Structure 1
Amino acid sequence: MSDIMRPMAFEQLLNWILTEKKQAGTVFGEHHPYYADEKYNRTIFGRRLETPVGPAAGPHTQLTQNIVAAYYTGSRFFELKTVQVMDGAKLSACVNKPCIKADDECYNCEWSTELYVPEAMEEYIKAWFLLKVISKEFGLGSMDGFQFNISVGYDLEGIKSDKIDTFLNTMQHAQDAEIFKKCKAYLLEHIDVFEHVTKEDVEGISGDICNSVTISTLHGCPPQEIEKIAMYLITEKGFHTFIKCNPTLLGYEYARKTMDEMGYDYVAFGDFHFLDDLQYEDAVPMLTRLMQVCKERNLEFGVKITNTFPVDVKQNELPSEEMYMSGKSLYPLSISLAAKLTEEFEGNLRISYSGGADYHNIKGIVDAGIWPVTVATTLLKPGGYDRMAQMASLLEKEGDVFEKVHVEKTCRLAREAKTSPYHVKAVKPLPSRKMKKQVPLLDCFVAPCKEGCPIHQDIPAYLQLVKEGKYEEALEVITEKNPLPFITGTICSHACMGKCTRNFYEEPVHIRAMKLAAAENGYDALLEKVQAPPVTKAGRAAVIGGGPAGMAAAYFLRKGGMAVTLLEKTGALGGVVRHVIPEFRISSEAIDKDAALLEKMGVDICLHTEADSVEKLKEQGYTAVVFAVGANKPGMLKLESGEAVNALEFLAKFKETDGNLDIGKNVVVIGGGNTAMDTARAAKRTQGVEHAYLVYRRTKRYMPADEEELLLALEDGVEFMELLSPVKLENGKLLCDVMKLGDFDSSGRRSVLSTGEQKEIPADTVIAAVGEKVPSKLYEANGIRLNERGRAFVNEETLQTNIPDVYVAGDGLGGPATVVEGIRDGKKAAEAIIKEALSREFESCTDEAVIYERKGNIADMHSGSEEGGRCLGCSSICENCAEVCPNRANLSIHVPGMEKHQIIHVDYMCNECGNCKSFCPYDSAPYLDKFTLFADEKDMAQSKNQGFAVLDKTRVKCAVRFMGETSVWEKGEESRIPDALLRLMEAVCTEYSYLIR
């Protein structure tokens, strides 16, 4: 394995494009071709431009196939990846890999082409020809409807070097270049492969490739040097010219304040670059002079916003000390700089834009007169290049001629960016979407939502049914694994939504809401059909505790054919959900409906019945006992003086009295979890309470509560008192130590340090939401062995204790947990008792074409059943790693005899950027862990990847590495290699031979 990419020959590229298009209707895996309409044409640099958008100088314009994929999906303005004197192996050695992390805001630590400059030039010329012919062959637009813009850096001496000078001259006039003549000759010799391209079309392909340049300069480059570079390229070379400008022009204070206010306070950067880079007072006169020089020569001039914004590596984001920030966090800075320059020059300075442009903001940018717009981060996310087609369609506008940048529209964009939900950082960091398992070599498609759900609900299946209005059928799928659809449809912590791939688009599919929709609309019909199963299993089971875990255990035991009694000490089922969680979170009626489902299943429910002895239960004839008693031992908070009320006790009294409690005007809740949020919201609703404060020793970002619960508390008026550690309660005031966040440690976590200061908060009542403890004494009394933390020892697979046929489930096992984790435990114990699986799997049946149509498209938020139409069907088609790879090095292929597509990794196309690792739902890096196609045996020997090199595609003969052993296999021979892998290699040789170098 090497991170050095191998450019493909022109003939291989052309064969690949035409063959794939004919066989699959795609080009480099892209499903959304964009067909340009000439009525939307624009003009820039004296040339036609069908859409004002394209890929930025970066990972998407480095190789020919990248440029082709971008064009196919709607790009028409290509800012080719920057070239400079340092190139090839020397530059590659300076770029630490992986070099891209784009799972939320984006970071990278690479900056210019990793190819040698002559190689880069050949890639761009090959792409020039391919775009010309596929535009005509596939009817995508005019052969002259796109433009290449070269990007060069980083100093005048380097730009004047023979290497870069040859590049500039050739890109201006390439007719005499060997690669140009070779590409043209090949096309003419193989004109019969086309249906619509003629010899005249090929002969008419101009060698005048680029007439515009974007100047990229290193941080700290003095204004005199920048101006000299620009003057040289304008006066000596005759290029229309853009100069990249950096948000450091805004000043450190502005940038720091903006980032902090938008939730990016953790993004670390000092004032060094702000002081060392081009200063605003130097930039304005320089730009004024260059505008005049270009005007005199009838050349267009402008700025490219933005160049790069360097920040410090603090949380091991990338293996470097400094990295460049882009994407949604860069947008407010970039558009603010655009607004500042637009005001300064009264709209007369042309702006080419990058820096966080995407579907959500690109129309506003272009409508303000700022174009062309180039993008990168959005294409690095799932959907990849296919996202471009939607953006290109958004920008279709007749008769749009550039006159000047609109000042007020640009300033409005800058103002709105700072509060836009698409650019403000979420209050809480995004949860990891990784599963704790290795990606398999084959059949890696998986629904992260289902895998993230503790009970593995068949989410894609019931989403599709809800979308179709088949609520009863959807509820049947849900209750196959989940007997509490109303409770989980209302208050589930929805880990599934944290795993949803839609998080990388706009927001997750509202899975919990769809479950509730199925419950509300399908309940009556389902309940009518439910019948108590006959008792077919020997013995009787007793379940102690009627909370979610106990309800689930009883439900599944009956479902499995065993007689079961559910023993609940209170007068109603539901446990904490019933007696503690406030009515404003979930109604009693919703809980009643789930309880009624158990009754209909034939569960013997005994209320007002306390059971605490296994021995007595066995004397009564019970053969199995499940303790599902919850974590009912109050957690305590010790203060130097004064006492805190327990949160669960308060919540129970609040619910019992409907908030008619005397707890004073000022209430302080200590804690940062979901219970603390419920407590603070309930306190705010309590009669007579004017202020409900929530005290936590860290900031909101580090609170364990779900973001949704935290935001609801804020909406209710809870006053968050961050960075405070409680000390003592005296005279109606809570004294707290003032804390501060320390630096990041080696794990990327920030420490908390005392400032030495203290702060008082008015407090008539202090409530501690610090977690409950398991009932250790109850377990000890029944002979159940405990660990040093007082928790029951159980078999993790069965939840059985050291006592035969006695089990522990729910909060009482490991402490406070979620409802769905309680259901998981109850089902696990029931299956151990019944000794068989008690649920079936349901597969989603969404049509493949429908799924591919959804991919790449940002969706408007739906309500009701239509929300299911946003599901990307990951359980049958994942392909994240293929979509996000700029180089197309991860490919989805069809293997005869295998129902679903398979992913292979192509070694020679990969530069180990690592982007696929960010988006693979497994705890894996596809570029290292998927079955790999190597160019030859030498490349395979340099890699540790499992994979193969084709030795003879006609005979289907391959060198193969599998499970650490290397061998040679030829079709028809016996092999220890799995048959599916053999078929995959055969498919590459026969169906995908264009991949073989």
Structure 2
Amino acid sequence: MSDRMTPIPFAGFMNWILEEKKTKGTVFGIRKPYIADAGQSLEIFGRALETPFGPAAGPHTQLCQNLVAAYWAGSRFFELKTVQILDGEDLPVSKPCIKADDECYNVEWSTELYVPQAFDEYVKAWMAIKVLSKEFGLGSPDGFQFNMSVGYDLEGIKSEKIDRFIEGLKDASETPVFRECREWLLANLERFEHITREDVEGISPNVCNSITLSTLHGCPPAEIERIATYLITEKKLNTFIKCNPTLLGYEFARKTMDDMGYDYVAFGDFHFKDDLQYEDAVPMLHRLQELADAKGLAFGVKLTNTFPVDIKASELPGEEMYMSGRSLYPLSIALAARLSKEFGGKLRISYSGGADTYNIRQIFDTGIWPITVATTVLKPGGYQRMVQIAQLLAQGGYRPYTGVDERELSDLAEASRQDRHHKKAVKPLPSRKMKKKVPLMDCFAAPCKEGCPIHQDITSYMKLTGEGKYKEAMEVITDKNPLPFITGTICAHNCMSKCTRNFYEEPVHIRDMKLKAAEGGYDQLIAGLTKPRQDQAEPVAVVGGGPAGIAAAYFLARAGRNVTLFEKRDSLGGVVRYVIPEFRIPSASIDKDVALMEKMGVEVKLNQEIKTIASLKEMGYDKVILAVGASKPGLLNLEKGEAVNALAFLEEFKKTDGHLNLGSEVVVIGGGNTAMDAARAAKRADAVKKVSLVYRRTKRYMPADAEELELAMEDGVEFAELLSPVSLEGNVLVCNKMKLGDADASGRRRPVETGEKVRITADTVIAATGEQVNGAWYQVNGILTDDRGRAKVNAQTLETSVEGVYVAGDGVNGPATVVEAIRDASLAAAAILGASVGTDREETGLVEAIADKKGVLKEAREAAGENYRCLECGAVCENCADVCPNRANISVKVPGMQMAQIIHVDYMCNECGNCASFCPYDSAPYKEKFTLFADAADFADSENEGFVVLDQEAQRVKVRFTGKESEVDLKEGNGLPEQLVRLMRTVICDYAYLLGIDAI
């Protein structure tokens, strides 16, 4: 597999577009085009512009198909990817070169094509858009503009190669590619409904009359001015100079990044010292603006270039990468405000630096445009995201350029540093990946369901809840989850961390929808439940009335088993009942979940502690599930003094409703969820004025869920970071002051002692250092345990070393979540029943209705219901197709197969790696999906499973499958799986435009 892209000849390119549109209704996989409003238009460089935005110079403007795809989705200003004298095979680009799962990083900086190839791509796209705009009624053929981009020094720009490129785009009339495109269009007029000979002959060869100068970091100011002067005076081009955010100075950049949560982004002051300095830039820009005015040309700045940062965690290959996206926005917009003030709003600004749906209208309203985007369309939704941007800009109306509103821009720059769309989350984002490899076929999966320990049918109950069918939604939920109120309130919701919406704006609020269904459907559901008929199998004892015990008893009783639940306390609910504060979950919610179990006919025996399994055997219980939790307090080893155990404190807090004598200052030691609960509870206790949470790392590396951290911060808990407790001396907690060292195996930076001591006054110190499994209890009952006291079990059945005895909940893996307890309960119950306790529902959904949601950013508060925001990934995923700038991953509908299939088109891929970031599997689709090769040489150069068509008419192919290569006649019998054969035949017959390789 080569990382070199093969440009598609104009004939094959146009055939692809026309055939795909005719047979599939899409263009390069994009379902929804943007149709420009004929009544709205702007003007720049003496030319019309239907929308004031488009793709930035980068991965979306490198190939012809990139530009057409962007136009189709609403772009009208195209900053072509930068060219320089170093090109093609001579240009070293490390691969993968893009990482855009949150803020974006890249390690490439100009076109990977040879300059003549890049030139041809841009002319082909120009010609294609001119006819497609009219043919499909998308807008005026003269309503878009191309802006060329060149770098990086004057000598290179003056070279014959780059000069030919510039002059050719100024006037392409005498170039072979312009004539080739024109001749093909004239020869194929019958394939168009709305294109005439006059239309084709009238296409202007003047592709570009503007240019953006991109300079390398460290380029001297005199060199920059010489190049810009040359472009204005000699090339007579409207000119933008791309500026670097380093103009802001190191201190400003570092403080902004730190304040916004990007303190982990590493960069030194080298580029800030080596790059163009602000005091040199301002007079230079004044001189160039005066020069352009005298020549009757437009001049301005492009803000900003990407920002160089250090590679510290192997994000990409190499030592330095370039940052863009939402973290670049506060820097770029700050520089825009500063320069606008310097020039009294009279300096034209072309903007790129974290522009997206949530800020682009505000940027435009300041008078800044054109605006170009990249990172936002590298995420799921891809080019389709541009439609929403175009609609948003059009709905607000356009106004001609009269300068930049300094005040409005200054306010926007100030607000950007507090904008939640651009601030980093308190904690690092969890992995969005499922822990499995992408299958070759049928890869669409709902990552929320895969991320849920009990594989809840989330998309099914989301849809029912959104439709107001709460009882039906509850039937789906309780099929696998008998604790809808508890999990609807305090579930750790790993499903939400896997949600594809995280790459749009925020996850679908799955937990909230579960609670909504529970509250809306509970009464109807429980009224219709009847005690199942009990079979004659031996009775089952469940020991422990926490979530695991309640769930196990529910599943068994529902299946007809005679179940007795033993609980040593006077109520069911375990830690949820006795420890988790009422402000987190009301007792009434726990009661409702318990009632569901009791409706199944479970016999509950409270205040009855089971000390031996033998006693249960004597009562006639041959099958036993132990759900006794992790009740042994964790230890905090202080040199002196003793802290209060967090669980004991929380239980007492709940029992007394917070009427405790803790003093005015409380310190909580720990960084997990229990520590957050303890700190928040202490904050509510009588007479407490200050609660400090001590942890040896920073908030970013605390094990608590981000949501729990944020709630503690909202409650006013103070975080005493980088402190490791040593001793408690009276009312003073003595701590070692720490600093963060290198990352450990978990990815968290190690705390390292500095030698300093810090003393914190405290009337009460609470230690939340984790709970432990009481291994002695298991051992006394003859159950083998590991070195941490946890019961050794069969991983599939959870049966212990004692036959007929099973363990569920914390006793298996240590302290865990409620939903993990339910998972264990279902495994143990299924082992006893000899059958699964839940049913997987088939993922269904109307493709077009789902596709309408893709690309649309829509936060929870904006949506009529969270079910609208749900992308129903189990029916339609296509992330890898969405995010590929080059359209190298194709969704193929195979007749007779419900699920669409993904194939990878090798000759269009440059191995940027972007699809690997967004595939919900732990996989890289460009390497692991079934691949179509252009020819035998490309096939031989790759290890991908895939095929090359040897004879299209005879349907003869060469295939690599499971590592074995063979030539196959697809019309006859062969040893390949039928699904794979049907996929290849479909490509050959229904997607033949992918095979325009006779012209490649």
Smaller-chain TM-score range? over 0.9
Q: How far apart, in 1, do the equivalents of 2:469 and 2:23 lie?
A: 36
Distance 1:932 1:707, change over 3 A: same
Report what 1:106 is aligned to: 104
Q: How far apart, in 1, do the equivalents of 2:90 and 2:562 lie?
A: 74
**Is residue 78 of structure 2 the alignment partner of residue 83 of structure 1?**
no
Q: Is the 8 A contact 2:239 2:298 kept in 1?
A: yes
Q: How far apart, in 2, do the equivalents of 1:844 and 1:943 lie?
A: 34
**Is residue 935 of structure 2 the alignment partner of residue 939 of structure 1?**
no
Q: Is the 8 A contact 1:741 1:750 kept in 2?
A: yes
Distance 1:537 1:18, change over 3 A: farther
Percent sequence identity over matched residues?
Answer: 64
Q: What's the CA shift for 1:156?
A: 0.2
Q: How far apart, in 1, do the equivalents of 2:985 and 2:514 lie?
A: 43
Report what 2:924 is aligned to: 925
Q: What's the CA shift for 1:387?
A: 0.4
Report what 2:422 is aligned to: 423
Q: How far apart, in 1, do the equivalents of 2:560 and 2:220 lie?
A: 81
Report what 1:392 is aligned to: 390
Report what 1:23 is aligned to: 23
Structure 1, residues 592-650: CA drift from partner, whole Å, max 9, x if none?
A: 00000011011111111111211111111112111100000111101010001111011
**Is residue 161 of structure 2 the alignment partner of residue 163 of structure 1?**
yes
AA at the equivalent of 1:673: G
Q: How far apart, in 2, do the equivalents of 1:818 and 1:789 lie?
A: 18
Alignment of structure 1 residues 629-778 onto 2, 5 Å: 629-744=628-743, 749-778=748-777
Structure 1, residues 422-452: CA drift from partner, whole Å, max 9, x if none?
A: 0000001111010110000111000010000
**212, 215, 222: which one aligns with 1:214:** 212
Structure 1, residues 279-299: CA drift from partner, whole Å, max 9, x if none?
A: 000000100000000001110
Structure 1, residues 755-808: CA drift from partner, whole Å, max 9, x if none?
A: 111111111111111111111011001100111222111111111111111111
Q: What's the CA shift for 1:360?
A: 0.5
Distance 1:973 1:489, change over 3 A: same
Q: How far apart, in 2, do the equivalents of 1:862 and 1:932 lie?
A: 41
Q: How far apart, in 2, do the equivalents of 1:864 and 1:940 lie?
A: 47
Q: Is the 8 A contact 1:331 1:357 kept in 2?
A: yes
Q: What's the CA shift for 1:850?
A: 1.3
Q: Report the secondary structure of 2:377's partner residue.
A: helix
Q: Is the 8 A contact 2:186 2:200 kept in 1?
A: yes
Q: Is the 8 A contact 1:645 1:766 kept in 2?
A: yes
Structure 2: gaps (5+ residues): none
Alignment of structure 1 residues 613-632 onto 2, 5 Å: 613-632=612-631
Report what 1:186 is aligned to: 184
Q: What's the CA shift for 1:248?
A: 0.3
Structure 1, residues 454-494: CA drift from partner, whole Å, max 9, x if none?
A: 00000000000011100000000000000000000000011
Q: Report the secondary structure of 1:210's partner residue.
A: coil
Q: How far apart, in 2, do the equivalents of 1:531 and 1:550 lie?
A: 21
AA at the equivalent of 1:4: R
Q: Is the 8 A contact 1:574 1:591 kept in 2?
A: yes
Structure 1, residues 500-533: CA drift from partner, whole Å, max 9, x if none?
A: 1111111111000000000000000000111121
Q: Report the secondary structure of 1:39's partner residue.
A: coil
Distance 1:865 1:464, change over 3 A: farther
Report what 2:116 is aligned to: 118
Q: How far apart, in 1, do the equivalents of 2:293 and 2:578 lie?
A: 76
Q: What's the CA shift for 1:263?
A: 0.4
Distance 1:398 1:329, change over 3 A: closer
Q: Is the 8 A contact 2:27 2:69 kept in 1?
A: yes
Pairwise CA RMSD: 1.0
Q: Is the 8 A contact 1:466 1:865 kept in 2?
A: no
Alignment of structure 1 residues 478-557 onto 2, 5 Å: 478-536=477-535, 538-557=537-556
Q: What's the CA shift for 1:972?
A: 2.7
Q: Is the 8 A contact 2:701 2:748 kept in 1?
A: no
Q: What's the CA shift for 1:398?
A: 4.5
Q: How far apart, in 1, do the equivalents of 2:878 and 2:638 lie?
A: 53
Report what 2:170 is aligned to: 172
Q: What's the CA shift for 1:863?
A: 7.7
Q: What's the CA shift for 1:32?
A: 1.9
Q: Report the secondary structure of 2:796's partner residue.
A: coil
Q: Is the 8 A contact 1:81 1:112 kept in 2?
A: yes
Q: Is the 8 A contact 2:773 2:788 kept in 1?
A: no
Q: Is the 8 A contact 1:723 1:739 kept in 2?
A: yes
Between 1:867-876 and 1:555-564, the stretch displaced more is 555-564
Report what 1:296 is aligned to: 294
Q: How far apart, in 1, do the equivalents of 2:744 and 2:43 lie?
A: 52
AA at the equivalent of 2:31: H
Alignment of structure 1 residues 425-504 onto 2, 5 Å: 425-504=424-503
Q: Is the 8 A contact 1:517 1:864 kept in 2?
A: no
Q: Is the 8 A contact 2:221 2:276 kept in 1?
A: yes
Q: How far apart, in 2, do the equivalents of 1:319 and 1:837 lie?
A: 46
Q: Is the 8 A contact 2:955 2:971 kept in 1?
A: no
Report what 1:278 is aligned to: 276
Q: Is the 8 A contact 1:314 1:744 kept in 2?
A: no
Report what 1:904 is aligned to: 903
Q: How far apart, in 2, do the equivalents of 1:327 and 1:655 lie?
A: 45
Q: What's the CA shift for 1:937?
A: 1.5
Q: Is the 8 A contact 2:863 2:869 kept in 1?
A: no
Q: How far apart, in 2, do the equivalents of 1:362 and 1:796 lie?
A: 52
Q: How far apart, in 2, do the equivalents of 1:368 and 1:915 lie?
A: 33
Q: Is the 8 A contact 1:740 1:755 kept in 2?
A: yes
Q: What's the CA shift for 1:907?
A: 0.4
AA at the equivalent of 2:445: V
Distance 1:565 1:399, change over 3 A: closer
Between 1:755-764 and 1:115-124, the stretch displaced more is 755-764
Between 1:613-622 and 1:873-882, the stretch displaced more is 613-622
Q: Is the 8 A contact 1:629 1:812 kept in 2?
A: yes
Q: Report the secondary structure of 2:771's partner residue.
A: coil
Q: What's the CA shift for 1:747?
A: 7.3
Distance 1:399 1:106, change over 3 A: closer
Q: Report the secondary structure of 1:15's partner residue.
A: helix
Q: How far apart, in 2, do the equivalents of 1:747 and 1:524 lie?
A: 45
Q: Is the 8 A contact 1:315 1:747 kept in 2?
A: no
Give the number of aligned pairs: 995
Q: Is the 8 A contact 2:775 2:788 kept in 1?
A: no
Q: Is the 8 A contact 1:468 1:865 kept in 2?
A: no
**What stretches of structure 1 move > 4 A for 4+ residues in a row?**
744-748
Q: Is the 8 A contact 1:889 1:905 kept in 2?
A: yes
Between 1:839-848 and 1:489-498, the stretch displaced more is 839-848
Q: How far apart, in 1, do the equivalents of 2:449 and 2:915 lie?
A: 21
Alignment of structure 1 residues 258-269 onto 2, 5 Å: 258-269=256-267
Q: Report the secondary structure of 2:860's partner residue.
A: coil
Q: How far apart, in 2, do the equivalents of 1:715 and 1:517 lie?
A: 24
Q: Is the 8 A contact 1:41 1:398 kept in 2?
A: no
Alignment of structure 1 residues 591-606 onto 2, 5 Å: 591-606=590-605
Q: Is the 8 A contact 1:314 1:748 kept in 2?
A: no
**334, 339, 342: which one aligns with 1:341:** 339
Q: Is the 8 A contact 1:354 1:374 kept in 2?
A: yes
Q: How far apart, in 1, do the equivalents of 2:328 and 2:225 lie?
A: 26
Report what 2:893 is aligned to: 894
Q: Report the secondary structure of 2:733's partner residue.
A: strand
**Is residue 250 of structure 2 the alignment partner of residue 231 of structure 1?**
no
Q: What's the CA shift for 1:928?
A: 0.3
AA at the equivalent of 1:638: N
Q: How far apart, in 1, do the equivalents of 2:56 and 2:742 lie?
A: 34
Q: How far apart, in 2, do the equivalents of 1:746 and 1:149 lie?
A: 47
Q: Is the 8 A contact 1:28 1:888 kept in 2?
A: yes
Q: What's the CA shift for 1:843?
A: 3.3
Structure 1, residues 855-898: CA drift from partner, whole Å, max 9, x if none?
A: 00011424897121100010100000000000000111101111
Structure 1, residues 929-972: CA drift from partner, whole Å, max 9, x if none?
A: 00000011111111010000011111111100000000011123
Q: What's the CA shift for 1:537?
A: 5.2
Q: What's the CA shift for 1:743?
A: 3.7
**Is residue 122 of structure 2 the alignment partner of residue 130 of structure 1?**
no
Q: Is the 8 A contact 2:506 2:859 kept in 1?
A: no
Structure 1: gaps (5+ residues): none
Q: Report the secondary structure of 2:155's partner residue.
A: helix
